[in-house]
Structure 1
Amino acid sequence: MKIRVTAACTAVALAAGVLLTGCGSSGDGDTDAADSGPVSLTYWAWAPGLDKAAAVWNEKHPEIKVTVQKQASGDDLVTKIITAAKAHKAPDLIQAEYQALPTMISNDILADISDEVGGSKKDFPDGLWQQVTLGSDAVYALPQDSGPLMFYYRQDLFEQYGLKVPTTWDEFAETARAVKKADPSRSLTTFSATDPGLFAGLAQQAGARWWTTEGETWKVALSDDATTKVADFWGGLVKEGAVDNQPMYTPAWNKALNTGKQIAWVSAVWAPGVLSSVAPDTKGKWAMAPLPQWTAGEQTTGSWGGSTTAVSTDSKHKEAAAKFATWLNTDPEALSVLVKEGGIYPAATAAQSGDVLTTPEFFANQPDFYATAAQISQTTSPAAWGPNVNVAYQSFKDAFGKAAKDKADFGSALTAMQDATVADLKKQGFEVGE
Structure 2
Amino acid sequence: MPIFIRGHRRVTGAVVGVAALTLAVTGCSAEGGDTGTAPDGPVEITFQSWVPNIDRAVDAFNASHDDIQVTLETITAGPDGGYATMLSAVQAGNPADVVQLGYDAIPDFLINDALEDITDYVAGSEDLFVPWQWQTGTFDGRVYAVPQASGPLGQFYRADIFDELGIEYPETWDEYYEAAQVVRASDPDRYITAFAFNQAPWLIGLAQQGGATWFGIEGDAWTVDIDGEDTMTVAEFWQRMIDEDLVKIEADFSNEWNADMQNGNILTWISGSWADAILRGTAPDTAGSWRVGGMPQWEAGEDVSATWAGGSASAVLKGSDNPEAAAEFALWLNSDPESVNILTNVGAGWPAIADTSEIESLQDDPEVFDFYGGQDIWDVFAESDANVDTSWVWPPLSSTLFASLTDNVKSAVDAGTPLSGAYEQTQTDMVDALEERGISVD
TM-score by shorter chain over 0.5? yes
How far is 1:194 from its partner? 0.7
Instruction: Report what 2:202 is aligned to.
Output: 198
Listed as ranges, the matches of 1:59-98 within 5 Å are 59-75=63-79, 76-98=81-103
Is residue 168–residue 294 contact of structure 1 (8 Å, CA) maintained in 2? yes
Pairing 1:395–2:404 present = yes
Change in 2 beyond 3 A, CA 1:431/1:177: same
Instruction: Report what 1:371 is aligned to.
Output: 379
How far is 1:92 from its partner? 2.0
* Structure 2 counterpart of 1:160, from 155, 159, 164: 164
Listed as ranges, the matches of 1:35-434 within 5 Å are 39-75=43-79, 76-133=81-138, 136-305=140-309, 306-340=311-345, 344-351=349-356, 354-357=359-362, 358-359=365-366, 360=368, 363-382=371-390, 383-433=392-442
Q: Distance in 2 between matches of 1:316 and 1:246?
A: 45
TM-score by length of 2: 0.85
Change in 2 beyond 3 A, CA 1:217/1:351: same
Q: Which moved more, 1:193-202 or 1:210-219?
A: 210-219
Shift >6 Å, 4+ stretches: 16-22
Q: Which moved more, 1:237-246 or 1:156-165?
A: 237-246
Change in 2 beyond 3 A, CA 1:353/1:200: farther
How far is 1:178 from its partner? 2.7
The residue identity in structure 1 corresponding to 2:409 is: F
Q: Distance in 2 between matches of 1:126 and 1:146?
A: 12
Task: Give the number of the structure whose residues are more often helix, by fraction.
Answer: 1
Is residue 188–residue 243 contact of structure 1 (8 Å, CA) maintained in 2? yes
3-state SS in 1 of match to 2:246: coil
Q: Distance in 1 between matches of 2:270 and 2:345?
A: 25
How far is 1:216 from its partner? 4.3
Q: Which moved more, 1:424-433 or 1:90-99?
A: 424-433
How far is 1:342 from its partner? 6.0
> Structure 2, unaligned stretches of length 5 or more?
1-15
Q: Distance in 2 between matches of 1:204 and 1:378?
A: 15
Q: Distance in 2 between matches of 1:129 and 1:299?
A: 23
> Structure 1, unaligned stretches of length 5 or more?
1-11
Is residue 149–residue 348 contact of structure 2 (8 Å, CA) maintained in 1? no
Is residue 85–residue 314 contact of structure 1 (8 Å, CA) maintained in 2? yes
Is residue 199–residue 406 contact of structure 2 (8 Å, CA) maintained in 1? yes
Q: Distance in 1 between matches of 2:52 and 2:78?
A: 15
Q: State the Cα deviation string for residues 206-239 of structure 1 (Å, max 9, x = none).
A: 2333232345433222222222222221112111
Is residue 363–residue 369 contact of structure 1 (8 Å, CA) maintained in 2? no
Is residue 273–residue 350 contact of structure 2 (8 Å, CA) maintained in 1? yes
3-state SS in 1 of match to 2:329: helix
Instruction: Report what 2:12 is aligned to.
Output: none
How far is 1:344 from its partner? 4.8
Q: State the Cα deviation string for residues 131-168 of structure 1 (Å, max 9, x = none).
A: 2236x532221111222110121111111111111111
Q: Which moved more, 1:371-380 or 1:158-167?
A: 371-380
Change in 2 beyond 3 A, CA 1:244/1:20: closer
Q: Which moved more, 1:408-417 or 1:174-183?
A: 174-183
User: Identity over the aligned pairs, expressed in percent?
Assistant: 34
Q: State the Cα deviation string for residues 227-282 of structure 1 (Å, max 9, x = none).
A: 22222211121112222222222232222222222222212212332223333332
Is residue 43–residue 68 contact of structure 2 (8 Å, CA) maintained in 1? yes
TM-score by length of 1: 0.87
Q: Distance in 1 between matches of 2:388 and 2:49?
A: 25
Q: Distance in 2 between matches of 1:167 and 1:330?
A: 34
The residue identity in structure 2 corresponding to 1:338 is: L
Q: Which moved more, 1:198-207 or 1:148-157?
A: 198-207
- Structure 1 vs Structure 2 CA RMSD: 2.8
How far is 1:35 from its partner? 5.8
Change in 2 beyond 3 A, CA 1:418/1:34: same
